[in-house]
Chains A and B, each alone.
Chain A
Amino acid sequence: MTPSRLQLEHIVKSFPGVLAVQDVSLEAYPGEILALAGENGAGKSTLMNILSGSFPADSGKIWLDGVEVNITSPRRAQELGIAMIHQELALIPQMTVAQNIFLGREPRLAAGLLVDTKKMVIQAQALIDQLGLDFPVTALISDLSIAQRQMVEIAKAISFQSRVIILDEPTSALSERESDILFALMRSLREQGVTLIYISHRMEEIFNLSDRVAVMRDGQLVGVTPTKDLTIQTVVQMMVGRELKDFFPKKQAEIGDVILDARELRSGKRVRDVSFSLRRGEIVGLAGLVGSGRTEVARILFGADPLDHGEIKLAGRIVHLHSPEEAIRLGIGLVTEDRKAQGLFLGQSVRSNASVLLFEKLAQLGFILYSKVDAWMRGAVTQLTIRTPNLEQKVRNLSGGNQQKVIIARWLAVNPQVLILDEPTRGIDVASKAEIHTLMSELAAKGMAILMISSELPEILGVSDRILVMREGRLMAEFSRAEASQDRIMQAATGQLAAG
């Protein structure tokens, strides 16, 4: 057996009130992709943050290529050849691609005091070319798409000549095509002997890519198994510690009248002549690559972006949506794509976050009746199984899945006729995902029309009654649940299918 590249021995890390990592020992080898699976809060990110020097372990040893190392800082980790690509993209938006790639180790001039910008640009360009990417290295990060920013992150990691590259959910913001480019890159790095540790919630990706899967639960390592000896079911069971019967619980709801009818929606170059309708009790999946105009359609329906042309009918009446405020009053809700930036007041309590729309409804003469708010809140927490110690808890401290439930609770308070969910389960653990899907089914069964945008095809296929596919601002195809398949959706999304 080859000697291990990386060896973790009895790693322990606790935070106030939580034992985040409990006595984890793990080995990784040169030229392998090790997947690290587990629900949110299982300790994966904490373990990887220890490895990349973000904070020290309380106890335990780390060996790199047979040498015991003491990873005291992110810089030390970089020097040792351990690079981590963080879940929240760690790039500086106001700086260029080249500046970001070489941040902290710029080529220097004049006794090391000045930055050799020319050399930096040339080196960065060489790296970008090597990866087959096509944006200028002098572009500002803020001008790049999320996917391109992700690629910059990877270029940055590769530029370190890293021996170990940790990727924390790298594909959560990528379209399938972009993910494929990333996977090709990961495989070629594996050929070169690099050790890749890969955190993901997407089972298909784990099974496509990895050589072994390590599963964590509640801060402990449950097991490490060669991928070929595993099935998705067994991994999920190891993660949740119980059997999860149905990946996508789908209740058949009775589908009613058309509630929302959009005709020839047009907005700039991002949305071109999009027409579709939603019925009561129906879950419609909106698929397409990142940047295909899906989010823009959602924002138009929610009154957040202006409409250049077209009309929207709600329950048969033409409506003009100039602001989210009007859309909400008319019974349209939007669960935004970016939970942290657009969905939540991170520093505020679960109560404030969930009841922000309820206040107006329950207020009398401008005063909020907190007793009523709390009574409603307790009901919502139970109904949605929001796991929080109390209503005072800051939303920042909840897991991704529970944060998303808080946002959904907010909408339930006003009981909209149409609820739009943009990537509702991105970065959320398997169990919470299933709960959110169940909830969507239940809401539809009560007569709500749901439009769900998702980049995960299994989710689209598993949850939707009907599927719309967008590409470059246009609606390319519409499939019924029975007609749809991953291949057909991808063909429409990538333009291999004529518009129908």
Chain B
Amino acid sequence: MKQTILNFTRANSGLVILFLLAIPLTLLSPDFLTGNNLLTVALQVSMIAITAIGMTFALITGGVDLSVGSVAALAGALAAGLATRSGLGTYPAMLLALAAAAAVGLVNAAMIVWGRIPPFVATLATMAAARGLTLVYTQGKPISGLDEQFTFWASELGKIPVPIFVLVFVALVTYVILHRSLFGNYIFAVGGGEETSRLAGISPAKVKFGVYVISALCAGLTGLLLTARLWSAQPNSGTGLELDAIAASVLGGASLSGGAGSVVGAVTGTFIVGILSNGLNLLEVPSYNQQVIKGLVFIVAVVLDYVMKQRLK
């Protein structure tokens, strides 16, 4: 029992940091803890959170996926283009766009597994290539004229924005995959010890293929939501998304050296960043100063996380 509590606290230290952050903001700003404000934050973070979940999968294996921002842009552009210009219909277009995202994930995995290229380098290459494909496909111009079926994905149901439902759905599915399924178990195994996993009859290659496809699918889904929200596909959307996603995953307890990370952590990590931005806006901190504060909070959070883990040992 004691062991279970210990393991839980260790795996979910992001939640603790989230609470530590929410308390002063609630005290300092009367607007912070209101339903409307929290929904705004949730909408802003939901898309990054989906990408961060996928990123966490890659980080747990000891890899990283830098191509997520470009994949999001590519998927968004393809979906918008195929739906409007090619007249495929919204849903077939979306599915094809996700398939294209998955294909980039397969290319990443192929380079990493068969080409033995370090994930940082392999995904840096696809980051450039996918962005280039997006620019070629869009000719550098936004694609607009989306129908209601498409923009529905950024509308509201009741008072709750649809992307939040999508996040909850993605989080539930990935939670089961990562923390309950055999495949999830093997992701942790490969990240904790690749040779050990191989000797236990696990195929690290299959695990990596799965992981990079999941990461790319999450990024693709984020791209669709971004497109729906802007009512158009922007060729430069998703720039810097990979850094937000990595930061969120690490804040949520994922380790860059592999073996650690969780879906709950990825989501809480994104919320930490989102709530911090939101709080600073509410407190009317100038946006240039916000950057500095965010950087400092990131350092404090990571150090705090490290200290807590050491204490719990």
**Interface, chain A (partner B; CB < 8 A):** 52, 54, 73-75, 78, 86, 90-96, 99, 103-106, 108, 112-115, 117, 136, 138-140, 143
Contacts and interface: CB of A to CB of B under 8 A. Distances in A.
B182 A112 contact: yes
Contacts of A117: 180
Contacts of B199: 52, 54, 74, 86, 90
B32 interface: no
12 contacts: A74-B200, A78-B201, A92-B192, A92-B196, A93-B193, A93-B259, A94-B191, A95-B192, A103-B189, A103-B200, A108-B182, A114-B176
Nearest to B313: A143
B281 interface: no
A75 B180 CA distance: 23
Contact of B188 (A54, A91, A94, A136): A94
Given A74-B201, A92-B197, A94-B188, A136 B182 contact: no
Nearest to A52: B199
* Interface size, B (range): 20 to 34
Given A92-B197, A138-B4, A113 B182 contact: yes
A494 B3 CA distance: 29
Contact of A93 (B192, B195, B313): B192
Given A92-B188, A143-B313, A115 B195 contact: no
A95 B202 CA distance: 15
A76 to B, nearest CB: 8
Interface of B: 3-4, 7, 176, 180-185, 188-189, 191-193, 195-202, 259-260, 313
Contact of A114 (B180, B193, B200): B180
Contacts of B191: 94
A206 B182 CA distance: 40
A450 B176 CA distance: 56
A117 B184 CA distance: 13
Contacts of A93: 192-193, 259
Given A105-B201, A106-B182, A90 B195 contact: yes
A90 to B, nearest CB: 4
Contacts of A52: 199
A149 to B, nearest CB: 12
A54 B200 CA distance: 10
Nearest to A99: B185
Query: Which of A91, A92, A112, A136 counts the most chain B CB atoms within 10 A?
Result: A92
Given A54-B199, A108-B182, 4 more contacts: A75-B200, A78-B201, A94-B191, A104-B201
Contacts of A108: 182
A143 B3 CA distance: 10
A62 to B, nearest CB: 18
A366 to B, nearest CB: 32
A115 B4 contact: no
Contacts of B189: 92, 95, 99, 103-104
**The 4 A-B residue pairs with the shortest CB-CB distance in the complex, in nearest-first order:** A75-B201, A92-B192, A104-B200, A94-B259
B76 to A, nearest CB: 31
A292 B188 CA distance: 33
